[in-house]
Structure 1
Amino acid sequence: MTNRSEECNFTSIDSLAKTLQFGISIPTFILGLVLNTLALSMFCCFWKKQTKTSVYMINLAIADVLLLLSLPLKLYYSVTEAPGLLCAFIESLYFVNMYGSIFIIVCITVDRYICIRHPFEGRANQSPKCAILICCFIWAIVWLCSSPMYVFHKDENLKCFHNMSEKAWSIPLIVSVEIFGFLIPLSAMVFCSAQNISILLNQKSRDKKKEEDSGSLRVITINLVVFLVCFTPVHLGICLQCLVRQHVIEDCSLKQNISLFIQVSMIFANLNCCLDAIFYYFAAKEFREKTNMKTVIELCPVFKPCAIRQDCLQWKNISSSAPTCLAGL
């Protein structure tokens, strides 16, 4: 997605960006794949009763795994030429799962807001059928919206995520991506998170619920911060790159900085795959209560040190005291 210009040389910029991509993306790929695969296995094997939250989390894990699987292809074909059709597929796979993750995260946040705001209705409406339909709708929409990717390349053989046609950077398209792909989800995240925090802070009997509210507030805050850190830079970079391709920005040095910024911001967006597993799955009440920790340790001995550490036990106690409505956070 970097810009190419006859007046500017981007060789050093791309070289630095590739070094950062390999240095960060490889650990992200390994850690994210392990965490999300483990989370999927736990939800499928140990979560006996499926709920709306579990459906969202399973779909989120699938989106993260598919995005992680696209990373090796992205790294390889961003430095090696490939047929335009193959590039279109790789780019489509990458962006479909990134935006799929964004929309599913928003659905989890909205669902928790409804549960906290209207606890009785929220608890009664935990049928997974509605969540399944919503997830199917999300997948259908993001795949449909990715179809123009197949006509965005100018050449038959090229480096993926580079040298897209001017159609890819048309103002109506970029504005649509920014509004529907980021600003609307961001607004929903900020509103629901702010309302959840406000409700929790204003609950009665603060002395009795101080510990559980502290844990819930922590998860809500981290959730919002992770969303902002992972997805805000890449959408800012897309906006700036659009200005470059529309010849609004002409300065060579600024073009180079924007080129580096958008490539680095995509690396940070990938980190969300690891953070999802940490802050969503292992904070779920059902995951803790219905998973036999001895079995987990036997299957994955790496968790043995964590299981005996006092800080892990303390986090478990804080999280497990959260109300049912807050558990899916």
Structure 2
Amino acid sequence: MAVFYGNMYGSMLCLALVALDRYIALVHPFSAKTLRSRRISLYMTAAVWTVVLIAMIPLLVSQQTYFLDELQITTCHDALPEEEQENYFLPYFATLFTICFLLPLAIVLFCHGAVLRTLLAEGKRYSHAVWVTVLVLVVFIVCLLPSNILLLLTYIDSSLDGDGEDLYVPYMVSLAVSTFNSCIDPFIFYFVSMEFRDKACGVLCCCSNSEDTSSSPSNKVSYCSSTTGQRSKITMLTKSSQCETSVIA
């Protein structure tokens, strides 16, 4: 359970930091030189892991499995003592919902809204940013919002002299849907990061070239050399353009 919820809330925090990174890069480009360094990104990654590990400690130290004498089965997190649900897990998941879901969602909405406004005001192409925004909202609203709300409603219903059985099946379905965020996240990173796109294309091209090695090995060499040449040309053009910009400035 700790690994499952840690993956869920860790994804939310990562998407919020990705949105914050895009916000700084596009809305505050002058601050991006200092705030978008490799060291800062490592600090942000370490912060996400630290927050997730601390947030999962209550699940790691609490008992999750109970044996039901009437049904002769052992459950995992599905049947908990009423007192423990009301006094322990309800405040715990309410805190997780507020800090690890609502706060990242607010950051995502603010950052992506500011990015779209900036692109529209400057007359730049914004279709790319729209696609990223739509994918992120799908992850938060379609995949993760129903499971988090039904989780809270299940514990609230149990604390109000209910058994939570009416919400159990919808909650389990929403929990299965929430796992699709792990399938959508790579597409978000693909659209956001040019470095991620280059590495993904490089892996796919290498796989396709390895399949064609026996038929035409010379094509692979020529392709790799041409790709390397193109990248070197792009690097030289970029450096030259940067030099020209600095001279003009």
Give the TM-score taking structure 1 as reference length.
0.55
CA contact (8 A) 1:103 1:138 kept: yes
CA deviation digits over 1:274-308, x for unaligned, max 9?
0111232255322334643531433689xxxxxxx
Deviations 1:167-205 (A, max 9, x none): 3443432321221121111111111121112222222xx
Structure 1: 5+ residue runs without aligned partners? 1-90, 302-329
2:38 is matched with which residue? 128
Pairwise CA distance, 1:124 = 4.7
For the residues of structure 2 that align with 1:300 and 1:138, how far apart are their CA atoms?
39
User: Where in structure 1 do 4 or more consecutive aligned residues deviate above 6 Å?
Assistant: none
1:220 has 2:143 as partner: no
- Alpha-carbon distance between aligned partners in 2 of 1:125 and 1:181, rounded to the nearest angstrom: 23
Mean CA deviation greater in 235-244 or 128-137: 128-137
Match of 1:153 in 2: 64
Taking a change above 3 Å as real, the CA distance of residues 223 and 145 of structure 1, as seen in their structure-2 partners, is closer
The 1:222–1:97 alpha-carbon spacing in structure 2 relative to 1, beyond 3 Å, is closer
When residues 169 and 195 of structure 1 are mapped into structure 2, their CA distance, relative to the original with a 3 A threshold, is: farther
Matched, 1:273 2:165: no
Aligned in 2, Cα 1:92/1:300: closer, same or farther, shift over 3 Å? Answer: farther
> 1:236 corresponds to which letter in structure 2?
I
Which of 190, 195, 205 aligns to 1:286? It is 195
Aligned in 2, Cα 1:112/1:242: closer, same or farther, shift over 3 Å? same
1:152–1:167 CA contact under 8 A, matched in 2: no
Identical amino acids, percent of aligned pairs:
24
Q: Which runs of 5+ in 2 are unaligned?
A: 68-72, 213-249
Structure 1: distance between partners of 2:129 and 2:211: 27
What do residues 205-261 of structure 1 show as CA deviations (whole Å, max 9, x unaligned)?
Answer: x3xx3xx3222222223222322111110111111111121026x4x7xx4331111
Q: CA deviation at 1:270?
A: 0.2
Q: 1:256 aligns with which of 136, 151, 165?
A: 165
| RMSD over equivalenced CA pairs, Å | 2.6
* CA–CA separation in structure 2 for the residues paired with 1:146 and 1:244: 23
Equivalent residues in 2 for 1:59-74, closer than 5 Å:
none
Using a 3 Å threshold, how does the CA distance of structure 1 residues 144 and 124 change in structure 2: closer, same or farther?
A: closer
Report the equivalent of 2:13: 103
Instruction: For residue 78 of structure 2, give the secondary structure of its aligned residue in structure 1.
Output: coil
**CA separation in 2, counterparts of 1:262 and 1:95?**
14
- The answer (yes or no) to whether the contact 1:193–1:221 under 8 Å persists in 2 is no
